[in-house]
Structures are given as structure tokens and as C-alpha cells.
């Protein structure tokens, strides 16, 4: 069905919608259904959830951006706020303006006057009361509100009904009937409010939807690991990493793999290590507190040369911190953590699709270089859901590590598990291989794996292990660069900052700032390209989602010119919005400008 309306509504090209209320209110369901409708209309979507770490209660919100083209974050401006209570308005009012529309549940009374910016269009109705009165269940208030929201956004009634059917069918006829009834009530309410069919605030130009998949970063990581031949996963549930475990528990057994929830993170990493000894490709995933617990195992894998992928879905720390809030404050522990010196690789994806390809790389690299490989995620990258092009499976290259078969062992004079070699990598025979018996240990050892404190051997072994990383540098995943290479202002940021910086650059360009951006995809070892990028720029804004400026310090530690680095740090737990970053940059740039002028005057 096409719109019968021909008046002057703007075509919907880029819109951000928040649904906010209390945890358990079902904000996420509303957003998920909206995302589905927009996808069907040919738009792309990006969704974010903001929850307290409780099942019910506590403020909770879900946000969706629907757009044409490519975006990788939530927009700065919220066009439509669906507030299920007054607290929701209070919490989100800073993101709206007089151009925004607010749909408000006034079951507990009218919205306090003066709360909204002057001129904001408000649509209020007692959704909760209506739901209780007609259906005796509070939950249906969302479905009532949906009718109004859908109409405002220019969605077709019939399309809404279809999405409801698709969503609730599985839950049984009764639940479906109630929800459809609630939707009809909502549509009726919309009529009463004067939001007739085709007379919403926007017009959607239906296009043929491009084939896309809807995934969160954690699912992409799980899938990338699986596609790279990963067949063993152990981990302990922790927000925001749990979806990696859950996804693999669902999918890995089909491919003959094992995905198991362990009794704690110590078991998580050590079970993975035990499995890795048998030659299977292995991964574990965790977040802050869990990564602290795993440190002994990480160093052990480094010393014993055990291939292992470790996913750290970073959340706000220290300690239990703010479990559901994004942060990037475990970078130090990934790069420098664990006692003693050992090699490791840290990869930093920037979007759910990037997560897939880097998980493939991480799995190959761990196997090849026989060392711990971290994938540094953050809560937003882990759990925000984006529509992305279906992963290109034909592009996936699964490169087995150096293994010895029984025949190859038989051809050797002597087989040594830790034999010194050109590239520092020792081919090994997996248990079960005739003739390949060996010893693996975290203690310092000789080439056979026998414990040794011989000083010469010690130095040679240590150097062998570190040499692998020098070799790896030649092929570690390169970063993604955006902008002209001679732009004076540079950005460095990882994880969720990828989409935010890309968006901010567009706005900054409009305001006359010429910028370039490097998303390093290998954070450790630091690649030359990262330092060269800094050399090229006049100044570089290094965006750190942590209090200590961990990326900035890492760059300086690796030789970047510290006078060029402007460290931007944020650790309030709020997700970055492009507009916020733009303001920060403009402020700094103006400051710099003024200082220049002052200096010029003084001369």
C-alpha cells in the first residue's frame, strides 16, 4: 500500500527514536518492531539499549536510528521520544529540542509543565490506564502507544499489523489477539488525536530493501569464530558478554563444537586452554571482573604458547563498576596485564560487521602465533544491533596453524614442542598423533617442554616468544582510514567510537573543519601505520572512553609525538553522541585559535 497523502511532509531519511520507561516496560520490544518495519520499508537501522542491571525496575530505554545510507551510531538529536512515565522525560529531555515530538503516557497525571523545550509537540494519552481497563495487563500499553508512534512516523497500519503478527504469533493466539486489539485501540486514539492515516509527521519512501542482516557485535564475534573453524568455547555469564556464550551454545553444537558455561572465569579460561592443547580452535569471552580473574591464565597461554582467543566486552569499571554502561578501560589490562613478560595481540573492531571479520582474523592469528589474542569490545559495540550487509562467507579464509601429522613427525630426527625456528613459531603435534608426545608448561622450559632455569635457554625462549609478534606485525589487521591524508585534524578512536567519529566528521566538515580518522584495528602490537597517522596530522584527538587516557598513553608509550595528542576522556557511562563530540572538538579548536591569536598579538 502506498501513501495517499501528497502534502508537504518531509521524507524520512534519518530519524532517531527513544522509547523510555522502567525496566520490564518493554521498550526494547517497541524498538525492535519499529526497526523491523523500517527495514521492510528499505531503510537501515541501528539500535541501542540502555538498561539497569536488573530485570525489572530502574530506568530503561531503547533507542533506534532509521536511515537511508550508512550510519554506525545513534544520532545526536532525538526526533521522537516515547516516554512511558515522567522520569523517562526527565532522563531524556537533554537529547530533545523544540523540533522533537514526544508521546507521553499520562496515566499518572499530566506532564509537569516547563519540562519540555518550548514548542515541543506533545501527544499524551493514558496508555497504561487504557491497557489496565480493557485488557487487565499493563504490558499492552506499549502496543497501544505503538499505534500513535507508527502513525506519526508515517508507517502503514497494515504493515504494523503484519509486524505484530510476526512478533507475537509465536507467543500464542491469545497474546497475539490482545496485542492486535491494543494496536487497534492505539490507531483509534491516533484518529482522535488527529493523526489520520498518511497524515503523520513523516513520509516514508518505500524502496526495495537491500539484503541485510540484523546483528549485535557479540553475535558477530561468535559467528566469526565459528566460521573460522572455532569449535570450543567456555565462559561464565557476565554483562555485556553473555550473548557470545549464548550464541555459541545455540550454533556451535550443530557444527560438532562444544560451548559450555563453566563454574567461573578461572574454569572458563583454563578449560579453553585444556581444549586448545588438543588442537581445536578455542575462545572464551568475559567482561571487566572476569578479565581480572583470567589474568593468570592469559600469561600461562603466553608462556606455554597455547592458542587462545579472549573476548573482553568492556563495561564501566573498576570492580563491578556500572555493569551495563560502555567503557574502554580494560585496554591496559589487555595490553599489559598478567605477571611477567609475554606476547599477545589485541584487536579492536569498530562495528558489528567488523566484529565478524576480526573474529575470523583473531581465530587464525591465535592458531598461527600460538598466543593469546584479545578482541577488545565495549558494551555498545557488543550489544547494539545494526543492520549490516550479510557477511561475505566467500571471503573468509581459514588458515590452519603449524601442525604436524604423524607422517611429518616420523620424518623428523627429533620432535620438540618448543623448537626454535626462524619465525619463532614451533609446529606442534596434537595429542593423539603417534610419535608426537610432548610437554606443555607455563614454567620456563627447554625446547622439549622440560622445566629449565638455564639462563641461556631462558633468554632464547623469551626472545623466541616475542619474535612471533614481530613476525605477526607484517600481517596484523590494518586500520580503516577516512578523510584526506593531509587533513590537519586527526581522530583516533576504537569500538563504539567508530560510528560516532564518522558522524561527527560530517558535521565538523560542514562547520569548516577538515579532519581525518584512523580506526586502528590492531591496538597491540602497535602498528607503524598508527604512528605514521599521528605524524601526518597537525594534532590528533584521541578519544578514550576511560579516565586515564589509556589509548593516548599507549600511543605516547610507543613513540607518538605527545605534543600532537589531545586526549579526550569520558567515563560517565553515557554513550557518546556525535553532537557531543562535535561540541567538544569545536570548543577545543576555538580555544586553540584564540590562543594562537593571543600569541600573535603578544609578539
Partner 1 sequence: MTTPPSTKTFTPARPIWCAGCGDFAVQGVLEKSLRNMGILPHKLMLLAGIGCSGTIQNNLKCYGYHALHGRVLPATIGAKLANPDLTVIAAGGDGDGFAIGAGHLVHTFKSNPSIMYILMNNSNYGLTKGQASPTSPIGYHGNAELGLDSMLLGLSFLSSTFLARGFSGNPEQLGRLMEAAIEHTESGKGFAFLEVLSPCVTYYDTHREWRAKVYNVDEDESFDPTSRAAAFQKVIELKEQGHIPIGRIFKGEHPSLESIIVNKEETLPAQQNIGHFNEHRKHYDQFIKAHLV
Of positions 133, 136, 254, 510, contacts partner 1 by CB under 8 A: 254
Residues 15/79, Cβ–Cβ less than 8 Å: yes
258 binds partner 1 per the rule CB under 8 A = yes
Decide: 514 and 487 in contact? Cβ < 8 Å: yes
Tell the smallest beta-carbon distance from residue 10 to partner 1 (Å): 25
Options 98, 99, 108, 278; binder of partner 1; rule CB under 8 A = 278
Give phi and psi for 87, each to the nearest 5: -60, -35
| Among positions 69, 119, 194, 256, the unique one binding partner 1 when judged by CB under 8 A | 256
- 212 in contact with partner 1 (CB under 8 A): yes
CB of 390 to partner 1, least distance (A): 5
Residue in 318, 434, 485, 559 binding partner 1, rule: CB under 8 A: 434
Distance CA 105, CA 84 (A): 5
What SS3 state is found at 49? strand
Interacting residues with partner 1 between 24 and 43 (CB under 8 A): 35-36, 39-40
CA-to-CA distance for 211 and 192, rounded, in angstroms? 38
CB of 226 to partner 1, least distance (A): 7
Q: Which residues pair with 568 in a beta bridge?
A: 543
What is the β-pairing status of strands 385-388 and 44-50?
antiparallel
Residues 290-349 that bind partner 1 (CB under 8 A): 296-297, 300, 304
Question: Helix (H, G, I), strand (E, B), or coil: what is residue 84?
Answer: coil
Least gap, CB of 453 to partner 1 (angstroms): 13
Binding residue for partner 1 (CB under 8 A) from 432, 474, 600, 603? 432
> Whole-number minimum distance, CB 39 to partner 1, in Å?
4
Select from 135-143, 229-237, 339-347, 551-559 the region that touches partner 1 (CB under 8 A): 229-237
- Among residues 436, 443, 400, the alpha carbon closest in space to that of 417 is found at 436
With contacts defined by CB under 8 A, name the span among 9-17, 124-132, 443-451, 486-494 that binds partner 1: 443-451
Supply the minimum distance, in Å, between the C-beta of residue 118 and partner 1.
38
Q: Output DSSP code: residue 104.
A: E
User: Least Å distance between CB 430 and partner 1?
Assistant: 7
Check residue 200 and report its DSSP letter.
Answer: S
Q: What is the DSSP secondary structure assignment for residue 210, as one 8-state letter?
A: P
Instruction: Give the length of the chain.
Output: 603
Distance (Å) of CA 106 to CA 6, 70, 93, 521:
33, 36, 16, 47
Select the span of 23-31, 85-93, 435-443, 570-578 touching partner 1 (CB under 8 A). 435-443
Place of cell 606443555: 440
User: Quick count: other Cβ atoms within 10 Å of Cβ 462?
Assistant: 16
Q: By CB under 8 A, tell whether 267 contacts partner 1.
A: yes
The DSSP result for 366-405, as a single string, is: HHHHTSEEEEEEEHHHHH-EEEEPPP-GGG-------B--
Instruction: For residue 360, give every residue at least 6 positions away whose Cβ sits within 8 Å of its Cβ, in sequence order, or none.
Output: 224, 225, 227, 228, 396, 397, 398
Compute how many residues bind partner 1; rule: CB under 8 A: 87
* Binder of partner 1 out of 1, 11, 255, 574 (CB under 8 A): 255
Site for partner 1 in 552-581 (CB under 8 A): none
Residue 442 Cβ vs partner 1, minimum distance, rounded to whole Å? 7
Residue nearer to partner 1 on the CB measure, 234 or 550 = 234
Query: 534, 510 in Cβ contact below 8 A?
Result: no
Point out which span in 19-27, 154-162, 250-258, 327-335 binds partner 1 (CB under 8 A). Answer: 250-258
Q: Which of 118, 192, 208, 263 binds partner 1 (CB under 8 A)?
A: 263
- Among the listed residues 227, 244, 425, 461, the single contact to partner 1 using CB under 8 A: 227
Of the candidates 187, 204, 271, 310, which one interacts with partner 1 according to CB under 8 A?
A: 271
Select from 1, 11, 450, 592 the one that contacts partner 1 (CB under 8 A).
450
CB of 211 to partner 1, least distance (A): 7
Of 359-388, binders to partner 1 (CB under 8 A) are: 367, 387
Calpha distance 117→296 (Å, rounded): 53
DSSP H/E element including 286: strand 281-286
Among 66, 103, 238, 275, the residue binding partner 1 under the rule CB under 8 A is: 275
Provide the minimum distance between the beta carbon of 21 and partner 1 in the complex, in angstroms, as a whole number.
Answer: 25
Please, are residues 287 and 239 in contact by the beta-carbon 8 Å criterion?
yes
Cell 574502554 belongs to 328
Among 10, 57, 172, 253, binds partner 1 (CB under 8 A): 253
**Which among 72-80, 176-184, 431-439, 468-476 is the span making contact with partner 1, rule CB under 8 A?**
431-439
430 binds partner 1 (CB under 8 A): yes
Burial class (CB in 10 A: 0-12, 13-18, 19+), 411: exposed
- For residue 330, count other CB atoms closer than 10 A to its CB: 27
Reading the block at residue 572, the C-alpha cell is 560517565
Secondary structure class of 267 (helix, strand, coil)? helix
Please tell me whether residue 433 binds partner 1 under the rule CB under 8 A.
yes
Q: Does 398 bind partner 1 (CB under 8 A)?
A: yes
Q: How far is the CB of 12 from partner 1 (least distance, A)?
A: 18
The phi and psi torsions of 507 (rounded to 5 degrees) equal -65, -40
Smallest distance, partner 1 to C-beta of residue 139, A: 24
Grid cell in block for residue 291: 578479565
Instruction: Say if CB 225 and CB 282 are below 8 A apart.
Output: no
* Region of 48-56, 254-262, 487-495, 543-551 interacting with partner 1 (CB under 8 A): 254-262
Among positions 81, 93, 221, 273, the unique one binding partner 1 when judged by CB under 8 A: 273
Partners of 586 in the β-ladder: none
Which position among 104, 127, 223, 571 is part of the footprint of partner 1 (CB under 8 A)? 223
Rounded to the nearest whole angstrom, what is the least distance from the CB of residue 51 to partner 1 in the complex? 22
Under rule CB under 8 A, which residues in 516-555 are in contact with partner 1? none
- Contact indicator for 329, 314 with CB cutoff of 8 Å: yes
Candidates 41, 62, 377, 440; binder of partner 1 (CB under 8 A) is 440
400 part of the interface to partner 1, by CB under 8 A: yes
Burial of 456 (0-12, 13-18, 19+ CB in 10 A): exposed
Should residue 410 be labelled a site residue for partner 1 when binding is judged by CB under 8 A?
Answer: yes
Amino acid at each position: 500500500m502506498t501513501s495517499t497523502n501528497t502534502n508537504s511532509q518531509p521524507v524520512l531519511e534519518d530519524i532517531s527514536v527513544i522509547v523510555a520507561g522502567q525496566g520490564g516496560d518493554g521498550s526494547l520490544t517497541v524498538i525492535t518492531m519499529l526497526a523491523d518495519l523500517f527495514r521492510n520499508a528499505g531503510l537501515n537501522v541501528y539500535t541501542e539499549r540502555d538498561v539497569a542491571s536488573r530485570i525489572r525496575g530502574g530506568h530503561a530505554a531503547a533507542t533506534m536510528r532509521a536511515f537511508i545510507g550508512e550510519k554506525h551510531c545513534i544520532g545526536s538529536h532525538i526526533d521522537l521520544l516515547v516516554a512511558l512515565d515522567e522520569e523517562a522525560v526527565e532522563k531524556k529531555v537533554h537529547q530533545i529540542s523544540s523540533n522533537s515530538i514526544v508521546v507521553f503516557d499520562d496515566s499518572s497525571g499530566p506532564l509537569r509543565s516547563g519540562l519540555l523545550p518550548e514548542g515541543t509537540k506533545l501527544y499524551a494519552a493514558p496508555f497504561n490506564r487504557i491497557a489496565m481497563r480493557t485488557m487487565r495487563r499493563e504490558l499492552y500499553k506499549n502496543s497501544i502507544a505503538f499505534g500513535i508512534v507508527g502513525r506519526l512516523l508515517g508507517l502503514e497500519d497494515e504493515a504494523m499489523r503484519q509486524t505484530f503478527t510476526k512478533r507475537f504469533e509465536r507467543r500464542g493466539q491469545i497474546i497475539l489477539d490482545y496485542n492486535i486489539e491494543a494496536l487497534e485501540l492505539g490507531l483509534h486514539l491516533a484518529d482522535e488525536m488527529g493523526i489520520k492515516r498518511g497524515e503523520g509527521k513523516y513520509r516514508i519512501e518505500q524502496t526495495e530493501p537491500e539484503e541485510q542482516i540484523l546483528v549485535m557485535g557479540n553475535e558477530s564475534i561468535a559467528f566469526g569464530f565459528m566460521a573460522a573453524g572455532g569449535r570450543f568455547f567456555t565462559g561464565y555469564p557476565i554483562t555485556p558478554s553473555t550473548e557470545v556464550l549464548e550464541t555459541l551454545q545455540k550454533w556451535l553444537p550443530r557444527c560438532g563444537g562444544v560451548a559450555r558455561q563453566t563454574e567461573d572465569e578461572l574454569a572458563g579460561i583454563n578449560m579453553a586452554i585444556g581444549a586448545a592443547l588438543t588442537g581445536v580452535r578455542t575462545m572464551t569471552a568475559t567482561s571487566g571482573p572476569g578479565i581480572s580473574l583470567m589474568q593468570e591464565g592469559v600469561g600461562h597461554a603466553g608462556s606455554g604458547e597455547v592458542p587462545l582467543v579472549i573476548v573482553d566486552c568492556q563495561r564501566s569499571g573498576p570492580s563491578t563498576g556500572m555493569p551495563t554502561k560502555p567503557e574502554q578501560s580494560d585496554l591496559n589490562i589487555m595490553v599489559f596485564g598478567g605477571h611477567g613478560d609475554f606476547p599477545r595481540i589485541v584487536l579492536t573492531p569498530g562495528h558489528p560487521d567488523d566484529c565478524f571479520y576480526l573474529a575470523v582474523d583473531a581465530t587464525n592469528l591465535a592458531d598461527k602465533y600460538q598466543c593469546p589474542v584479545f578482541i577488545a569490545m565495549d558494551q555498545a559495540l557488543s550489544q547494539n544491533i545494526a543492520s549490516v550487509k550479510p557477511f561475505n562467507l566467500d571471503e573468509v579464509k581459514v588458515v590452519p596453524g603449524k601442525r604436524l601429522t604423524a607422517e611429518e613427525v616420523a620424518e623428523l630426527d627429533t620432535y620438540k614442542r618448543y623448537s626454535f625456528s626462524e619465525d619463532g613459531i614451533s609446529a606442534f603435534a596434537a595429542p593423539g598423533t603417534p610419535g608426537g608426545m610432548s610437554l606443555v608448561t607455563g614454567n620456563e622450559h627447554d625446547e622439549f617442554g622440560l622445566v629449565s632455569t638455564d639462563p641461556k635457554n631462558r633468554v632464547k625462549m623469551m626472545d623466541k616468544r616475542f619474535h612471533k609478534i614481530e613476525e605477526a606485525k607484517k600481517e596484523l589487521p590494518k586500520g580503516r582510514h577516512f578523510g584526506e591524508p593531509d587533513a590537519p585534524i586527526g581522530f583516533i578512536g576504537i569500538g563504539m567510537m567508530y560510528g560516532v567519529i564518522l558522524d561527527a566528521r560530517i558535521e565538523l566538515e560542514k562547520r569548516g573543519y577538515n579532519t581525518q580518522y584512523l580506526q586502528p584495528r590492531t591496538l597491540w602490537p602497535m602498528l607503524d601505520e598508527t604512528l605514521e597517522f599521528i605524524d601526518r596530522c597537525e594534532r590528533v584527538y584521541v578519544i578514550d572512553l576511560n579516565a586515564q587516557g589509556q589509548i593516548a598513553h599507549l600511543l605516547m608509550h610507543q613513540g607518538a609525538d605527545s605534543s600532537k595528542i589531545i586526549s579526550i576522556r569520558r567515563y560517565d557511562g553515557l554513550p557518546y553522541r556525535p553532537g557531543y563530540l562535535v561540541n567538544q572538538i569545536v570548543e577545543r579548536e576555538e580555544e586553540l585559535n584564540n590562543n594562537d591569536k593571543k600569541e600573535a598579538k603578544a609578539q
